[in-house]
Amino acid sequence: MESTLVIIKPNGVKGGIIGEIISRFEKSRLSVSGLKAKSLTKQEAEGFYAEHKERGFFGELVGFMTSGPVILIALSGEKAVEKVRTINGATNPANASAGTIRHDFAPNTGENIVHSSDSAASAAREIAFWFEKSELVSYPAYSYLK
Ligand code: IDP
Ligand code: MG
């Protein structure tokens, strides 16, 4: 069992594909341990993406992530980190495999619809960044979906 953090970025929220995105994770037998809608402050976005602060695109990234509400999601399940990275697709949607979220919906690298943790260690840090322990749940996973 593993957990990972997903953020549906502002264009995914405004684009009306919150349900479509969460459905893809549920169909992959991942369960929703935490879920909230939030408008990020500049300080929160800068803190969350601190590892990228020296990169040329940092200002653009923070500007985009504060341009509208996001959905924060903690997902749990077997190999959750790797599974979600695969479902999301490559950072640059032009390189994303067919059927991935970024391939299907993302217009460009800067506005690539979803964030996901890149390792179990990042996931632990990122989930703790947005969620109190009391805001997280776990439940036995089974699915009505075929
Ligand atoms: P990831 O989201 O696939 O893990 P990272 O390399 O961690 O990709 O970059 C974090 C985010 O920063 C990306 O999802 C994307 O929104 C943005 N980003 C990365 N590289 C570029 C770039 O070259 N131009 C504009 N934005 C970028
Ligand atoms: Mg990353």
Note the pLDDT tens digit of each residue in 91-139: 999 999 999 999 999 999 999 999 999 999 999 999 999 999 999 999 8
Closest residue by Cα to residue 8 from 106, 92, 96, 93? 106
Regarding the domain with residue range 2-133, which homologous superfamily does it belong to in the CATH classification?
Nucleoside diphosphate kinase-like domain (3.30.70.141)
pTM for this prediction:
0.97
Q: Is the pLDDT of residue 48 over 80?
A: yes
Q: Is the pLDDT of residue 32 over 70?
A: yes
DSSP 51: G
Question: What are the backbone dihedrals phi and psi of residue 63, each rounded to the nearest 5 degrees, phi first?
Answer: -60, -45
Instruction: Determine the distance separating the centroid of ligand 2 and the alpha carbon of 146, expressed in angstroms.
Output: 31
Residues with a CB atom less than 6 Å from ligand 1: 52, 57, 60-61, 91, 109-110, 112, 115, 118
Please write the tens of the pLDDT for every residue from 56-103.
999 999 999 999 999 999 999 999 999 999 999 999 999 999 999 999
